[in-house]
């Protein structure tokens, strides 16, 4: 078992002569005050355009324990913070005539995409762009902030996190693709973590990826906890590229989880892998995934908790379904969060960290 995350908690307990159950040691090692952590998913993205310093600052003020930057590369090998390398949906690049000739079509992880890509821009060029709301139809109030914020670098996110005393939870995006074009994400990530003194066991850092081989390589290079992301469908793209037939469903079987524990410290499953839904979008009985992962020695940080009815199960939606405002209306997301906290998850990725922090306080008895 890959035990870097657990070692310090277990060793500390043994010093004082306590017999600490594995699950308790795991939670203590990967939590705040022995409670699940709240990870601000792309910042407080329910309130500000995602992956901006403004979204991260707000998330920190709301009590998030970690902020999550997604990492892609510029042409000049700088790691910047965008959910995807195609940026027409999250920046104003499509309105910039000086970059009109950069529009192109590429195949990324087997999918053909047309737009503008970070790897075709220098950092200086990207810094002239401004962020926009990615889902304006569901978050129209966020469009009030369109055009105000730059695309941040990983270093800028780290600087903010250090000043505010919170952790960072970076995700490397499309690692196989970026390696194929000579812009590997992992080497500059390792260099940046080391330069900031964050390449150590007690650093407030998790590194996550939907791919496997890059995490396996990182496990031999850095000493921060690694998290294997999984989805309810599909398989890691590096498996596809190598002809490996295994799927995310295979990775989340008990034997698959034991395999993950050889190189990673945590599992980041899609939340429907923990509580599935039926064809009518109603909740089904929870699976054994949380317990199975804990038995393998893995933390469990599911994604993504969002407040709008569009993203909630029918059980938690509220309002008049006939209303055109129904999809963007906020449902009973606290009930969803409460359910997952009571199922024993070790953290949650939330677009609205204020609600996750409040529900955690209620569930764990702090006023």
Q: Pseudo-torsion of CA 198, 53, 308, 211, nearest 10°? A: -40
The CA distance from 179 to 189, in Å, is 13
pLDDT at 203: 80
236-290: per-residue pLDDT in tens? 999 999 999 999 999 999 999 999 999 999 999 999 999 999 999 999 999 999 9
The CA distance from 228 to 203, in Å, is 19
Min mean pLDDT across 8-12, 111-115, 267-271 is at 8-12
Which residue, 201, 250, 203, 195, is CA-closest to 228?
250
The CA distance from 2 to 342, in Å, is 26
DSSP class of 243: T
**Which token pair is 305?**
């908790």
The CA distance from 222 to 193, in Å, is 9
Whether the ω angle into residue 360 lies within 30 degrees of 0, i.e. cis, is no
**69 belongs to a structural domain:** yes
Categorize the per-residue pLDDT at 201 as very low, low, confident or very high, splitting at 50, 70 and 90: confident
**Which token pair is 307?**
């407040």
Residues making up the chain, counted from first to last: 367
DSSP notation for 135-203: -TTT-GGGGGGTTS-PPPBHHHHHHHHHHHT-EE--EE-SHHHHHHTT--SHHHHHHHHHHTT--STTS
CATH code of the domain containing 245:
3.20.20.190
**108 belongs to a structural domain:** no
Categorize the per-residue pLDDT at 93 as very low, low, confident or very high, splitting at 50, 70 and 90: very high
Residue 330 neighbours by CB distance under 10 Å: 16
* Average of per-residue pLDDT across 27-46: 80
pLDDT at 133: 98
**296 belongs to a structural domain:** yes
* Average of per-residue pLDDT across 226-232: 98
Q: Would you say residue 97 has pLDDT above 70? A: yes
Q: Would you say residue 366 has pLDDT above 70? A: no
**Which token pair is 196?**
């900031």
What mean pLDDT value characterizes the chain? Answer: 92
pLDDT at 61: 98
Give whole-number Cα distances, 73 to 54, 81, 184, in Å: 21, 9, 8
DSSP class of 68: -
Give the whole-number percent of the chain exceeding pLDDT 70: 90
Quick check: 354 and 337 in contact, CB under 8 A?
Answer: no
pLDDT at 10: 28
DSSP class of 274: T
* Average of per-residue pLDDT across 162-181: 98
Q: Would you say residue 223 has pLDDT above 70? A: yes
66: three-class secondary structure by DSSP:
strand
38-70: per-residue pLDDT in tens? 999 999 999 999 999 999 999 999 999 999 999
Categorize the per-residue pLDDT at 365 as very low, low, confident or very high, splitting at 50, 70 and 90: confident
**217 belongs to a structural domain:** yes
**229 belongs to a structural domain:** yes
148, HSE (Cβ side, Cα atoms, 13 Å): 14
**110 belongs to a structural domain:** no
Count of the separate structural domains present in the chain: 1
| Residue 355 structural domain | 33-84+143-363
**107 belongs to a structural domain:** no
Categorize the per-residue pLDDT at 360 as very low, low, confident or very high, splitting at 50, 70 and 90: very high
**149 belongs to a structural domain:** yes
* Average of per-residue pLDDT across 8-27: 34
Q: Is the pTM of this model over 0.85?
A: yes
Which residue, 127, 139, 137, is CA-closest to 44?
139
- Tokens 């401004």 correspond to what residue? 130
């Amino acid at each position: 078992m890959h035990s870097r995350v657990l070692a310090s908690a277990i060793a500390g307990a043994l010093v004082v002569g306590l017999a600490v159950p594995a699950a308790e040691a795991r939670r203590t090692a990967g939590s705040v005050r022995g409670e699940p952590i709240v990870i601000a998913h792309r910042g407080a993205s329910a309130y500000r355009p995602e992956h901006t310093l403004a979204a991260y600052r707000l998330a920190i003020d709301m009590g998030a324990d970690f902020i999550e930057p997604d990492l892609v590369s510029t042409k000049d090998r700088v790691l910047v913070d965008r959910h995807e390398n195609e940026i027409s949906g999250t920046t104003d690049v499509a309105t910039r005539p000086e970059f009109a000739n950069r529009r192109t079509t590429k195949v990324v992880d087997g999918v053909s995409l047309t737009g503008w890509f970070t790897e075709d821009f220098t950092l200086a060029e990207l810094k002239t762009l401004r962020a926009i709301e990615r889902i304006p139809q569901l978050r129209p109030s966020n469009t009030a902030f369109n055009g105000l914020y730059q695309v941040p670098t990983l270093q800028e996110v780290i600087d903010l996190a250090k000043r505010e005393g919170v952790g960072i939870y970076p995700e490397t995006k499309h690692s196989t693709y970026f390696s194929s074009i000579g812009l590997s994400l992992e080497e500059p990530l390792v260099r940046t973590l080391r330069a900031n003194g964050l390449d150590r066991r007690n650093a407030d850092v998790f590194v996550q990826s939907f791919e496997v081989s890059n995490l396996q390589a990182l496990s031999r290079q850095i000493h921060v906890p690694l998290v294997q992301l999984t989805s309810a469908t599909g398989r890691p793209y590096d498996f596809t590229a190598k002809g490996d037939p295994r799927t995310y469903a295979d990775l989340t079987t008990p034997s698959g989880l034991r395999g993950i524990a050889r190189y990673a410290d945590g599992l980041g499953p899609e939340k429907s892998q923990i509580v599935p839904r039926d064809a009518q979008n109603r909740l089904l009985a929870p699976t054994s995934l949380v317990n199975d992962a804990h038995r393998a020695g893995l933390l469990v940080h599911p994604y993504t908790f969002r407040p709008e009815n569009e993203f909630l199960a029918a059980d938690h939606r509220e309002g008049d379904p006939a209303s055109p405002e129904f999809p963007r209306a906020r449902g009973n997301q606290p009930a969803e969060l409460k359910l997952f906290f009571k199922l024993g998850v070790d953290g949650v990725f939330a677009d609205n960290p204020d609600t996750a922090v409040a529900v955690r306080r209620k569930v764990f008895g702090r006023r």
